[in-house]
Amino acid sequence: MSQLAFWRSGSTRVLPGFGLSMGISVLFISLVLLLPITGLFGQLANLSLAEYFAIITEGRVVASYMVTIGAAAVAALVNAVFGLLLAWVLVRYEFPGKRLLDALMDLPFALPTAVAGITLATLYAGNGWVGNIIEPMGFQVAYTWVGIALAMAFTSIPFVVRTVQPVLEDLPAEVDEAAMSLGATDGVAFRRVIMPHLWPALVTGTGLAFVRSLGEFGAIIFIAGNMPYETEITALMIFVKLQEYDYAGASAIASVVLFVSLALLLAINIWQGRFVRRLHGGKG
Amino acid sequence: MSIRLQNIAKHFANTQALEPINLDIHEGELVGLLGPSGSGKTTLLRIIAGLENADRSPQPGKILFGDRDVTNVHVRDRRIGFVFQHYALFRHMSVYDNVAFGLTVMPKKRRPSSGEIRARVFRLLEMVQLQHLANRLPAQLSGGQQQRVSLARALAVEPDVLLLDEPFGALDAKVRQDLRRWLRRLHDELNFTSVFVTHDQEEALELSDRVVVMSNGRIEQIDTPDTLYRAPKNRFVFEFLGDVNHLEGRVRDGVLTCGDAHLNVDLPDGDEELLLRPHEVRLAEEPSPESHLPVTITAISPVGAEVRVELEADWLAKPWQATVRHADFERLHMRRGQRLFAHPRQWHRFKEDAKTPEQQARVA
């Protein structure tokens, strides 16, 4: 019996349960992830290649790509800066309310995005609390791409904070102290000692925030104004197609978002793996 | 460069980490700060380094390096070298870049040329015997090697004083021994002023020119290792510097009695506690007119220059340790369970109220 099992698995594993846990994992991924994606491609089968390209290169849709990518890029960069700052504050300083702020970081994950969207829209609309003040000064946020970026930044900030935070915690304060005792100014110590450690996490977090922003829908539609060619996001284009019962068209646009996101995630993963290996002296 | 601390105190929230301290460290001295954890030794070292600020009230303290008042000088301008217990190397930089760091971050007008930096780094790496590992990353080195890199890095900027925070604490015993000897040699060669923190008495006594013994934020005694061991100023120092055997009892008419044990002492009547080092206990088969201290051997460790014997008796609260020469060990045919008599060669006694120790030697 045992010889048979040995022959079947090809090698002995000391850690038990590989077959069972791997099987369940694959089943779960298939049901939750792969099956819906297959459905998406099933819909695509109704289109010819020419039709597919016509849909995804239509002017209004292309404009929506630009709006989405542009706003997502701005949101991701803003989050990179402020997310890093927040993570820094949360790790390096002790202050009253630290735990509360830490918990608040996850709020964008927990809050229904539509709630965030409505809140932001009412705040920044011309008659809202904030809009009231900034619109007379010439800044319009609601119903412009700035509003879109704002909503994206809101929903994706935890990605940056939560990826940078553990890396920063792992970096002992002694390292800053060592740099300072050797005469480094704060700026030099940050640039040459701290940043090289944070880079991978920061890029990963920013990348994740960017990808998340590409697909955000609920938080944005309320504040975006949704003017064709100007403030329409790609997710909205999918929604519009669906409302017109154009399932194939919706799937075509969705597939573009899917490919872009997948490619980005893959790139981030590979790049990060390489960086981490270097940091650990080629050992892992 | 000499170091002079005047009236240095430190509070953390409501706890007093350091009571006002005065300390003079001479040029070229290697001084050990010794104490149990929580004694304030690391805090004191970090204050000297400028990584921590001393209290400004009620009275501001003062730190002088030579004639230079550095009390309010930032750590980066104090010209110190600091070695951390866990090395604190820059993990993403090669050994070479780690050592060169302090030189490359100097302001342009003081910074040596790149050729000069290279020469100096390799000279330092040679000194710590790591020149062949210049291109490795810290993760590829052993703990002892990493600590040597960290030392070379600290010395690269030619600091006025070198400060080491439990430098060998994270290393295993054998490596610790080697590094200790090696640091001592390096110190004698380059003659920099250095202060190191340790909780290991042996390390402090072996390495230091003078040892500062601390407890509860206070300096208990500052002396050379030899004086410290032979003439401890108080009970804390005596107990912290080595194994101690306690003998508690009541004195009446010059005889200390404790259960069925008794010992002649020239002390006034009252309760007394006498302290003895393991080497101050002699073992014999018979009691003497002066002492009658029956004990039973419970453990024997024959490793080393002397045999360590553990002794128990009804009249002892805690077992005693005694060290016996191998010759005596064989002569008395010592074995576990054997009953013998202990004779103090010498004992010590510290009065709690007076700070002056009272010691009495007795030849048995």
- Which of the 8 DSSP states describes residue B57? S
Question: What distance in Å separates the CA atoms of residue B219 and residue B5, rounded to the nearest whole number?
Answer: 12
Q: Is the pLDDT of residue A4 over 60?
A: no
Give the pLDDT of residue B350: 83
pLDDT at B347: 87
For residue A184, which residues of chain B lie inside 8 Å, CB to CB? 76, 101-102, 105
Verify that B189 and B140 share a domain, yes or no. Answer: yes
Are B223 and B273 in a shared domain? no
Mean of all residue pLDDT scores within chain B: 89
**With bands split at pLDDT 50, 70 and 90, how would you rate the model's confidence at B357?**
low
Q: Are residues B189 and B277 in the same domain?
A: no
* Whole-number percent of chain A with pLDDT over 90: 47
pLDDT tens figures, A242-281: 999 998 899 999 999 999 999 999 998 888 887 777 665 5
Question: What is the spatial distance between Cα B178 and Cα A202, in angstroms, rounded to a whole number?
Answer: 41
The string of pLDDT tens digits covering residues B322-339 is: 999 999 889 988 899 999
Are B156 and B260 contained in the same domain?
no
Distances (CA, A) of A276 to A191, A271, A273, B96, B362: 18, 9, 5, 20, 67
Residue B267's pLDDT band (cuts 50, 70, 90): confident
Flag if B138 and A177 touch (Cβ within 8 Å).
no
Chain A residues in contact with B89 (beta carbon < 8 A): 178
Domain assignment present for residue B240? The answer is no
Chain A contact set for B88 (CB, 8 A): 172, 174-175, 177-178
With H, G, I as helix, E, B as strand and everything else as coil, classify residue A222: helix
**Residue ranges of the alpha helices (H) in B194-269?**
201-207, 225-230, 235-240
Q: What is the pLDDT of residue A239?
A: 92
Assigned domain for B77 exists: yes
Query: How far is residue B77 from each of residues B72, B110, B151, measured CA to CA in Å?
Result: 10, 13, 19
Q: Which of A178, A279, A283 sits opposite B92 (nearest CB)?
A: A279
Asked if A177 lies within 8 A of B84 by C-beta distance, the reply is yes
Same domain, B225 and B268: no
Of B86, B92, B153, Cβ closest to residue A172: B86
| Overall average pLDDT of the B244-254 stretch | 89
Tell me how many domains chain B contains: 2
pLDDT band at B356 (very low <50, low <70, confident <90, very high): low
What is the per-residue burial (b if ≥16 Cβ within 10 Å, else e) of B42-61?
Answer: bbbbbbbbbbbebbeeeeeb
B347 touches chain A (CB under 8 A): no
Which pLDDT value is given to residue A283?
44
Q: Taking a C-beta distance cutoff of 8 angstroms, is the pair B87, B27 a contact?
A: no
Average pLDDT of chain A, as a whole number: 87
Test A192 with B154 for CB contact under 8 angstroms: no
Compare all CA atoms of chain A with the CA of B81 and give the residue at the minimum distance. Answer: A181
Strands B161-165 and B193-198: parallel
Do both B72 and B27 map to the same domain?
A: yes
- A203-248 pLDDT, tens digit per residue, is 999 999 999 999 889 889 888 888 888 889 999 999 999 999 998 8
Asked, for residue B237, whether it belongs to a domain, the answer is: no
Whether residues B205 and B61 fall in one domain: yes
By DSSP bridging, strand B346-350 and strand B291-292 are unpaired
Residues of chain B contacting residue A281, judged by C-beta atoms under 8 Å apart: 136-140
Residue-range domain boundaries for chain A: 52-279
Facing residue for A178 by CB, picked from B88, B106, B139: B88
Domain CATH code at residue B135: 3.40.50.300
Q: ipTM of the predicted structure?
A: 0.81
Q: What is the pLDDT of residues A156-193, one digit of tens each?
A: 999 999 999 999 998 888 999 999 999 999 999 999 99
- A177 to chain B: which residues are within 8 Å by CB? 51, 75, 82, 84, 88
Q: How far is the C-alpha of A229 from the C-alpha of A256, rounded, in Å?
A: 18
Contact B105 A192 (CB under 8 A): yes
Burial class (CB in 10 A: 0-12, 13-18, 19+), A133: exposed
Residue B336 resides in a domain: yes
The shortest CB-CB distance from B88 to any of A174, A192, A283 is to: A174
Q: Show the CA angle centred on residue B336, arms to residues B330 and B340, nearest 5°.
A: 70
For the domain spanning A52-279, the CATH number is 1.10.3720.10
Q: Are residues B222 and B281 in the same domain?
A: no
Q: Give B85 to chain A, closest Cα distance, Å.
A: 10
Q: Which of A171, A181, A193, A198 to mutate to test the interface with B (most CBs of B within 10 A)?
A: A181
At A103, which amino acid appears? A
For residue B273, the enclosing domain spans 245-361
Query: Which one of B76, B78, B95, B149 would you mutate to disrupt binding with A, by most A Cβ within 10 Å of its Cβ?
Result: B76
Closest by Cβ to A182, choosing from B51, B105, B138: B105
Distances (CA, A) of A193 to A65, A122, A175, B158, B253: 38, 43, 8, 21, 72
Q: For B9-61, what is each residue's pLDDT tens digit?
A: 998 888 888 999 999 999 999 999 999 988 999 999 999 999 999 888 778 88
Which of the listed residues B174, B197, B232 is the one where a domain comes to its end? B232
Whole-angstrom Cα distance, residue B74 to residue B62?
A: 14
Give phi and psi for B330, each to the nearest 5: -75, -35
Q: Is B142 on the interface with A (CB under 8 A)?
A: no
pLDDT score recorded for residue A36: 86
| Range A54-61 average pLDDT | 91
Q: Is the pLDDT confidence value at B364 over 50?
A: no
pLDDT reported for residue A52:
92
What is the pLDDT, as a whole number, of residue B359? Answer: 57
Q: Do B88 and A185 touch (CB under 8 A)?
A: no
The verdict on B81 and B226 lying in the same domain is: yes
Question: What is the percent of chain B where pLDDT is above 70?
Answer: 96
Query: Which pLDDT does position B56 carry in this prediction?
Result: 86
Structural domain contains residue B344: yes
B232, B267, B299 - which closes a domain: B232
Based on the domain organization, do B11 and B93 belong to the same domain?
A: yes
Check pLDDT > 60 for residue A42.
yes
On whether residue B238 sits in a domain, the answer given is no
